[in-house]
Amino acid sequence: KAGVTQTPRYLIKTRGQQVTLSCSPISGHRSVSWYQQTPGQGLQFLFEYFSETQRNKGNFPGRFSGRQFSNSRSEMNVSTLELGDSALYLCASSLTGQAFYGYTFGSGTRLTVV
Amino acid sequence: EDQVTQSPEALRLQEGESSSLNCSYTVSGLRGLFWYRQDPGKGPEFLFTLYSAGEEKEKERLKATLTKKESFLHITAPKPEDSATYLCAVARGNQFYFGTGTSLTVIP
């Protein structure tokens, strides 16, 4: 059974640019959540999508957006990149989206903004 | 305010030296407490879920326990391959609240 796949694994972008990250959930999973991980803040919740609808959003600026497609694949976009956006971006999938049942995480995309 | 706090931030153990990691939380409406292991450059890997106070779960050298305010991850006779960051998360609705983790190093 394939796990959660995130692409690309590594990215280097320049301040002011925009970036799109991709996440393919486990087959059959309809919920995809995105988290930002930094050494100082740990994992911070960005947003959660279920059946193409954003159901919950964390406390991040509007530069961070996402979407989910009909096949449950999800993309996350960050516009006007800032140095502080450098982080490991993790995607997690679950069958129903209820955290109660646990999530399976991908290996993440390491974004470096220079 | 919902908060999850892990201690210590870092822990160095000699191989075979048992210890415990702590996770305390103030999240209301808790629906479950999760322990994950994260290796460098990888995503968190699920270890345990605990749902009610008094519950215990074991896996090899790891044992997780839960009270009303905190959880402990006990590591018995650790080996170098147990070196990793251990993350605690509490579930509320469709969101996790994570602690910042304990970085464990086991020295041969």
What are A86-100's pLDDT values in tens digits?
A: 999 999 998 876 666
Is A26 an 8 Å CB contact of chain B? Answer: no
Interface test with B, best of A43, A46, A95 (most B CBs within 10 A): A43
Beta pairing, strands B56-59 & B95-98: unpaired
> Taking CB atoms and an 8 Å cutoff, what residues of chain A touch B1?
none
Confidence class for position A11, pLDDT limits 50, 70, 90: very high
Around Cβ B98, how many Cβ atoms within 10 Å? 22
Of A40 and A21, the structure prediction assigns the larger pLDDT to A21
Closest approach of B75 to chain A, Cα-based (Å): 22
Closest approach of A56 to chain B, Cα-based (Å): 8
> Taking CB atoms and an 8 Å cutoff, what residues of chain A touch B42?
107-108
pLDDT, tens digit, 9 for 90 and up, residues B40-84: 889 999 999 998 899 999 999 999 999 988 999 999 999 999 999
Distance CA A73, CA A62 (A): 21
Distance CA B8, CA B103 (A): 8
Confidence class for position A25, pLDDT limits 50, 70, 90: very high
Instruction: State both tokens at B5.
Output: 């706090």
Q: Which residue of A has its CA nearest to B39?
A: A107
Distance CA B108, CA B41 (A): 22
Looking at residues B18-26, what average pLDDT do you find?
Answer: 95
Report the SS3 class of residue A100. helix
Closest approach of A72 to chain B, Cα-based (Å): 17
Report the SS3 class of residue B65. strand
Angle at B46 between CA B7 and CA A48, to 5 degrees: 95
